[in-house]
Amino acid sequence: MKLNIQNETSRLRSVILGTAESIGAMPSINEAYDPKSILHIKAGTYPKESDMHKEMEAVAKVFEKYDVTVYRPEVIKDYNQIFSRDIAFVIEDKLIKANILPDREREYEAIHQVIEAIGEDNVIILPEECHVEGGDVMPWNDFIFIGTYSGDDYSDYITARTNMDAVIAIQELFPHKTVKAFELRKSNIDPKENALHLDCCFQPIGKDKAILHKNGFLIEREYEWLLNFFGKENVFEITKDEMYSMNSNIFSISEEVIISEKNFTRLNNWLRENGFIVEEVPYAEIAKQEGLLRCSTLPLIRE
């Protein structure tokens, strides 16, 4: 398999979609990885496996409609394998294994058939000190955008997933690209004040547009850089509540076609007004785990 990912929006040909089969019992508060999951565990509203399975299969049907080859992880009994973007990501023709939380190592092992088809020469394993997850990494043509957190209290945050060691390593791997890092706002307790990954507060769409949430960025000038890069007239600004609902975490099949959550009314209307075809799916239950459509997909090949 020859990988090819240059950006977030070129026509998708091949993708790994996570699975909600056999995700196991609801985690305890101590086992949860993010404040949104903790909130729903406490409230008794944590999503059911059957509901999440239906949501993921709705996405699989959209991929089938657009003739996208879909790979699924091998199902591990009683194990959450929904968020395939966390475990690896592709830049150009290389798959980079994410140095994720140790508890989740088995998720990567469950896509071994894809890894074998790619070939070990095209798989990069970063040094142990490089912490990175795919939700923080966005190839965008000549750029690679990366969400990070470099505070001295990095180790205090379960929500800090990508460090500066990883940013430097990716720049060294792709010296011909401009790597642009963005400091993200982190909170272990308040999901409305936490950008778990870069795609929780930003995503490029189409050829020259983007979705942005200002408060997700810790440094205002970094947010301003993105605003100027895309142009205010091309940016859809989401509110704190829309960020909480994961409005920036949609997924592009092409420059014209976007998969979006059916309840994102304001966003979906704006997308259609700007010429996009919007394939609406139910994904509100999966969103309770602070992840949505981009988080549960790992693109392998785009044209």
- What are the pLDDT tens digits along the chain (303 aa)? 999 999 999 999 999 999 999 998 888 888 876 778 888 999 999 999 999 999 999 999 999 999 999 999 999 999 999 999 999 999 999 999 998 777 778 999 999 999 999 999 999 999 989 999 999 999 999 999 999 988 787 777 766 789 999 999 999 999 999 999 999 998 877 878 888 899 999 999 999 999 999 999 999 999 999 999 999 999 999 999 999 999 999 999 999 999 999 999 999 999 999 999 999 999 999 999 888 999 999 999 999
Residues 6+ apart with CB under 8 A from 293: 59, 249, 250, 251, 259, 260, 261, 281, 283
Q: How far apart are CA 110 and CA 75, in angstroms?
A: 7
Tokens of 205: 């769409």
Q: How far apart are CA 95 and CA 120, in angstroms?
A: 9
Q: What single-letter DSSP state applies at residue 286?
A: G
Tokens of 13: 């040909």
Q: How far apart are CA 202 and CA 12, in angstroms?
A: 20
CA gyration radius for the chain? 18
Report the DSSP pairing between strands 235-237 and 209-212: parallel
**83, 197 Cβ separation under 8 angstroms:** no
